[in-house]
Amino acid sequence: MESQLGLCVESFDLRYSAWVREALNELPDCFTITDPCVSGHPIVFASRGFLKMMGYSREEVIGRNGRMFQGPETDMRSVMAIREAIREERGVKISLLNYRKDGTPFWMLFQMCPVFSKDDGMVINFVGVQVPIVTRPRRLSGLRLRNEMGLCEDGGRFRDPVFRCCRREICSESILKIGRAVESVSSLDDQEDEITEPCEASELETSKASAAINNILSVLTHYSEYTGRLVSGKRCCSTGNVRLVSSLNISLGRIKQSFVLTDALLPGIPIVYASEAFLKLTGYARHEVLGRNCRFLSGNDTDPTTKFQIKECVRTHQACTVRILNYRKDRTSFWNFLHISPVRNASGKVAFFVGIQINDRCQNQETHGLSPEMRQLSVVGAVKVAVRSLSMGASTS
């Protein structure tokens, strides 16, 4: 959990300047910021207002997925609507029943929007604003109250046989006491029912959520200028077919092996995704890897013949397996048992290449009964399924 927390903090700090957290915490709103490029699509920032409202500490929230706030009465249709918006990289505004740390449920207006990189149009964050919805308690009608007391519509006779037998012995004051007790119990039942019944936000609550989104985007845009990694609330450019959408990032994040995905349709075939295991193996940070060709792993003693073999396989769209000497960021070398395979989209065109790396020193050690070769092939299969599922979904939407 500590490593995941550190990864989320680093992910957020690399995009924005060091002062962004203080500026965001100056805002009075309840909101979170997530990163779809990190495995599990975790929360990388939570405002003070959000933590106070939910009853959690920062350490309990950062690095975890927003699913932690859902509960048994959360409407799964609303959850699926949010997931679909993430897949399509668009905003969404929806009423949602969430749960605080102490288990109490409450309705809120959830408004989410993507944050785009100005450089390549990729989604690098999602901002989620939460505005509690104020519910108005319902009052019991006279008919319902009389029914709860066991009275007929005219209020003069008891329907229940027990009450009929004893009606002469009960004075009017006792009836009033019974009525108050029944009304009190019914009120508690109504409150429980109202919590789980669908609740719509008012115009004021809707306006508050929209204003919060605009303020947060303004802060993020301003503080991204200090790092030169500019962001925007709107997609300013797009790399078209080859843009790695956030839903694909999330799917690839579930694969735990060391691998990279390169874009076959861009000049230089740059890396567009690097797994956390790859970053750990090579010692590089994600921003130091994305956009570069895999050649940066080579060094003085890397065999030119092996490099040429890889180049030819890529040119002819063929799979290959080689043993190549690569270098980490600290320039220490390691023998890389490397498998490269083309990845086709739903139309059959090669859109990516996946490269799976295994430290040759460990390649003879089987993991969960799988040889290194089988581990590599399983990664290829998982990546192909993710890419084809995405492109098929895009073609039908």
Dump pLDDT digits (tens) for 254-265: 888 999 999 988
Amino acid letter for position 281: L
Is residue 141 over pLDDT 70? no
Contact present, 32 and 66 (Cβ < 8 Å): yes
Summarised one tens digit per residue, pLDDT across range 341-364 is: 999 887 788 989 999 999 877 655
Domain residue spans in the chain? 2-135+200-232, 142-196, 240-396
Indicate the helix (H) or strand (E) that contains 48.
helix 48-54
Q: What is the mean pLDDT of residues 9-32?
A: 88
- Asked if CATH classification 3.50.50.60 holds for the domain at 2-135+200-232, the reply, yes or no, is no
List the single range of 165-174, 229-238, 254-263, 373-382 with lowest mean pLDDT.
Answer: 165-174
- Bridge partners for 114 per DSSP: 126
Q: What is the pLDDT of residue 9?
A: 73
Q: Which residue from 37, 129, 123, 135 is spatially nearest to 92, judged by alpha carbons?
A: 129
For residue 100, give every residue at least 6 positions away whose Cβ sits within 8 Å of its Cβ, in sequence order, or none.
53, 54, 55, 106
Contact present, 304 and 29 (Cβ < 8 Å): no
H helices of 225-315, in order, are: 246-252, 276-282, 286-289, 304-315
Is residue 152 over pLDDT 50? no
Q: What is the pLDDT of residue 334?
A: 94
Q: What is the mean pLDDT of residues 40-60?
A: 94
Q: Let me know if the fold of 2-135+200-232 is the same as that of 240-396.
A: yes
Is residue 92 over pLDDT 60? yes
Is residue 159 over pLDDT 50? no
The torsion angle over the Cα atoms of residues 177, 183, 189 and 193, rounded to 10 degrees, is 180
Better pLDDT: 316 or 122:
316
Name the superfamily (CATH) of residues 240-396.
Answer: PAS domain (3.30.450.20)
For residue 180, give every residue at least 6 positions away whose Cβ sits within 8 Å of its Cβ, in sequence order, or none.
none
